[in-house]
Structure 1
């Protein structure tokens, strides 16, 4: 079967400002098993350019696919673009199956199938095996009712099948690296790069997290085989930077140590970057030298907030003392710390934001990334914020870098100024400038300069973008804007749970 994987151009600031682009790991992970099943599989990556939507549609049509698979890691803000492209493709290729996967469609399946008649089926949750079964059924002209882990349009309307069994052996499905030209993808300042995934899921219960129920449980790949794959990609394709897509790769200290030692034994000069939790860094104080020796240059630490009451509200399960110690330990071992801090969990005042700035200064992170709270309809936090007003009704802007919720204590422009002021102070203080331009480690100096150069482009862009983009002062409540909460379906992909139909959003 002729199968086309499509990565649409994403409107987020993070996609448009950097000169670097990373390959779409999710689509490649689906592509590998489909190739092994004998299908003719191709990938179109619309991020390059970015490719105008009409040209993207033309390229899709030119391939004459029998099935078109859409997916995007930033799936909430990416959905409007996917919907627009899919509608045009269906109009020109009426006999092609349109298949959609990702976090957003996994939970919004009912209304997508209700309002977007061109969608043939939605893959819910992880899709390597589900996509194989789905494409096989379409090729054979069989009913979709017996395929676990999908949603489709049945005789009585949109319906979801039983959850697919969790993939216990992540090494049983391979990534379709042959679908990309490695020379086109880069990160860390034009260094050849890919996205990889050691583990799936996270055992923690942060109530704002959009992915905590998507993977259903934490699992990891074989540490030695994973290290060998990284070494092979470096030796055969010249990949230098490996960006880990894991929510929390370091959950198992035992497995993580085996991976680090296996990669060290491969003796490859690579750069590893990713995210983890501060408490894992503190736990691993005795093996952080292995992190550095294996190639780790930066960890993103999701601090989210420095306020104890807010930490309790969002069920972060962390402590400010642990966050501070993790940053200290990483610096001691020559690993950069990027701290993310989220504005808008509650109705912050000037005093709250000033106190947050002072606490961030005491943490002394190497890099800072400020984000705006972006509630997902399927998370418990959605109910907490359900009565707050929406000021950004363009769903393409729901990417964490645009304010989407009103703060009753101050106008949106003042919140923006606080965010920009905080970033300026953190990145412009003498310590940060010294590390950026005078760090004794040339690799870390390069990393700091690259991030600083990108920040100088993003910082003014966000300010100008804020005043040019339309917002509403008297918008609907969050609940009225998105519809009924879907938190009851958060873990609906777990075996033993069957998704129940939900009302479409108003």
Structure 2
């Protein structure tokens, strides 16, 4: 089949503000196996520019594909764009099959098919094997009902097959790197870059996270083969920055050390950035020098909150003592720490923000990433906020960088004021400025200056956006806006039980 993968321009601040763009890993992960199956596969990436929607549709139509596959990593806020583009494509190419995959369609599959008759099928959960089977069935004209992991249109009915089993061997499916021009993708201030996954899943039961439903359990690539692949990307394509998309790549200390040792043995000049848990950093205090030798320059630590009650509510399973120690250990080993902090919990008051600011100053992270609490219906956290009022009804703004929920004790303008004030204080305090301008490590200095330049642009954009994008005074409840929560932590199983055919 002639298959076209489409990455739409995403409206989120994180996509629009940076000058750098990273490759769409999810689509490339689907593309590799499809190429190996003999299909003719190509990619259109609308993120560059960004590409106007009319031009994107024209590019898709000109390619004359038999199947158009849409997906995006930030698919909740990206869904309205995909819905618009796919509808235009279906009108211009009535014979093409529209397929949609990603996190948002996985959990909103039935809603999407009911509202958007042009979508032919939705791939739920991990897509590599399901997409292969789906394309093979479409090429042969076979029925789709025997393929796990699908919700599809069958005449006038919507049918849903059982969830696809988790992929046990992640090395069995290769990423289709040949679908991109590596010279177009960069990160870290113009350095050639890719996004990769060493592992999938996370064993921790944080209530705001949907990983326990989407990825099911933690699995990992072969550490030596994975290190070899990263080295090849550097040697053959000039890739300098490796951005890990893993939720928690360091779950197994034994496996993680094997990867570090293998990458050090490859002797390539790479910059590694990604996310992990603070308790894993503390656990690995004795091998953090290996992290640095392998190329690690920054870890994002999901602190979420400095309030013990809030951490208990979201079942983070962390302590403020551990978070502080992880930041200290990273600095001791020449690795930058970026602390995420989430605001907008229902009972917050001025004193909570003041206490949080003081604790963040005590943590002393190198960088700070402020986010707004944003519930998704497939997470256990959604059930705790179903009755909260929605104040942002534009779904394109549900990207963690816009206020979407009302708080009980504070008007939105005061939440914004604290949000921006905390960012300024953390990034402009004398200690932070000294690290920024007097850092003796040129690589870390470059990284911090790049992030600071981008952060200034984001800061201004968020303030302007708050005034430009009106908030509603009498908005619906979360449940009314999104529908009822998917109560089981494994929302894929819930969907299968509800709609299996």
| Structure 1 position 501 matched with structure 2 position 499 | yes
Residue deviations 1:333-370 (CA, integer Å, cap 9, x gap): 00000000000133210000110000000000000000
Offset of residue 211 of structure 1: 2.8
Encode CA deviations 1:304-346: one digit per residue, 9 max, x unaligned. 0000000000010111100000000000000000000000133
| Partner SS for 1:325 | helix
**What are the residue-to-residue correspondences of 1:407-426 with 2, within 5 Å?**
407-426=407-426
- Partners of 2:468 and 2:496 lie apart in 1 by 44
Give the TM-score taking structure 2 as reference length. 0.98
Structure 2 CA distance for aligned equivalents of residues 460 and 156 of structure 1: 49
Single out whichever of 122-131 and 156-165 deviates more from structure 2.
156-165
SS in 1 for 2:247: coil
> What secondary structure is seen at the aligned counterpart in 2 of 1:388?
coil
Change (3 A) 1:75 1:225: same
Matched residues in 2 for 1:104 and 1:466: separation? 25
Asked if structure 1 preserves the Cα contact closer than 8 Å seen for 2:380 and 2:489, the reply is no
Structure 2 counterpart of 1:35:
35
Residue 61 in 1 paired to residue 70 in 2?
no
The alignment partner of 1:158 has SS state of strand
Report the TM-score when normalising by structure 1: 0.97
How many angstroms apart in 1 are the aligned matches of 2:103 and 2:151?
A: 13
User: Pairwise mapping of residues 388-403 of structure 1 onto structure 2 (< 5 A)?
Assistant: 388-403=388-403
Tell me the SS of whatever aligns to 1:212.
helix
1:14-60: CA deviation from partner (whole Å, max 9, x where unpaired): 00000000000000000000000110100000000000111100000
| Contact 1:107 1:489 (8 Å CA) reproduced | no
SS of 2:259's partner is helix
- Number of the residue aligned with 1:78: 78
1:415 is displaced (CA, Å) by: 0.3
Supply the RMSD in Å over aligned alpha carbons: 1.2
Stretches of structure 2 lacking an aligned partner (at least 5 in a row): none
* C-alpha contact 1:149 1:493 (8 A) present in aligned 2: no
Counterpart CA distance in 2 for 1:348 and 1:473 is 19
Listed as ranges, the matches of 1:358-437 within 5 Å are 358-437=358-437
Deviation at 1:156, TM superposition (A): 6.5
Are the aligned partners of 1:260 and 1:294 in contact in 2 as well (CA < 8 Å)? yes
Structure 1 alignment gaps of length 5 or more: none
Which stretch of structure 1 is more off in the superposition, 342-351 or 100-109?
342-351
Alignment match, 1:482: 482
Question: How many angstroms apart in 2 are the aligned matches of 1:158 and 1:490?
Answer: 21
Alignment of 1:47-126 (within 5 A): 47-126=47-126
Deviation of 1:500 after TM superposition, in Å, equals 1.3
Greater displacement, 470-479 / 365-374: 470-479
* Structure 1 position 171, deviation (Å): 0.4
| 1:438 matches 2:438 | yes
In structure 1, distance between residues paired with 2:47 and 2:219: 30
Deviation at 1:164, TM superposition (A): 1.2
Tell me if structure 1 keeps the 8 A contact 2:346–2:408: no
The secondary structure found in structure 2 opposite 1:4 is strand
Aligned equivalent of 1:339: 339
Partner SS state of residue 70, structure 1: strand
Match of 1:404, SS state, is coil
Alpha-carbon separation, structure 2, partners of 1:178 and 1:212: 31
Distance 1:381 1:152 in 2: 28
1:16 is matched with 16
Residue in 2 that maps onto 1:271: 271
Is contact 1:103-1:211 (8 Å) kept?
no
Answering whether residue 349 of structure 2 is matched by residue 320 of structure 1, we say no
Cα offset for 1:489?
Answer: 6.9
Contact 1:276 1:300 survives alignment (8 Å):
yes
CA deviation digits over 1:405-440, x for unaligned, max 9? Answer: 011211101100100000000000011101111111
Q: Decide whether the 8 Å contact of 1:124 with 1:493 is kept in 2.
A: no
Q: 2-side partners of 1:173 and 1:385: how far apart? A: 38
Q: Which segment drifts farther, 211-220 or 482-491?
A: 482-491
Q: What does 1:131-146 align with in structure 2 at a 5 Å threshold? A: 131-146=131-146
Shift of residue 488, structure 1, vs aligned partner: 3.0
Contact 2:380/2:487 (<8 A) preserved: yes
Cα distance in 2 for partners of 1:483, 1:328 equals 43
Q: Distance in 1 between matches of 2:345 and 2:314?
A: 8
Alignment partner, residue 469 of structure 1: 469
CA distance in 2, matches of 1:41, 1:155: 27
Quote the offset at 1:491 in angstroms: 4.0
After the TM superposition, which parts of structure 1 deviate over 4 Å for at least 4 consecutive aligned residues?
none
Looking at structure 2, the residues matched to 239 and 212 of structure 1 have their Cα atoms a distance apart, in angstroms, of 32
Distance in structure 1 (CA, Å) of the matches to 2:33 and 2:431: 48
1:197-208 alignment runs, 5 A limit: 197-208=197-208
Cα offset for 1:378?
Answer: 1.0
Moved more, 482-491 or 100-109: 482-491
Shift of residue 132, structure 1, vs aligned partner: 0.3
Q: Is the 8 A contact 2:212 2:489 kept in 1?
A: no
Measure how far apart 1:499 and its partner are. Answer: 3.6
3-state SS of 1:357 partner: helix
CA distance in 1, matches of 2:489, 2:252: 28
Tell me how far apart the structure 2 counterparts of residues 129 and 284 of structure 1 sit (CA, whole Å): 35
Cα separation, 2, equivalents of 1:212 and 1:355: 32
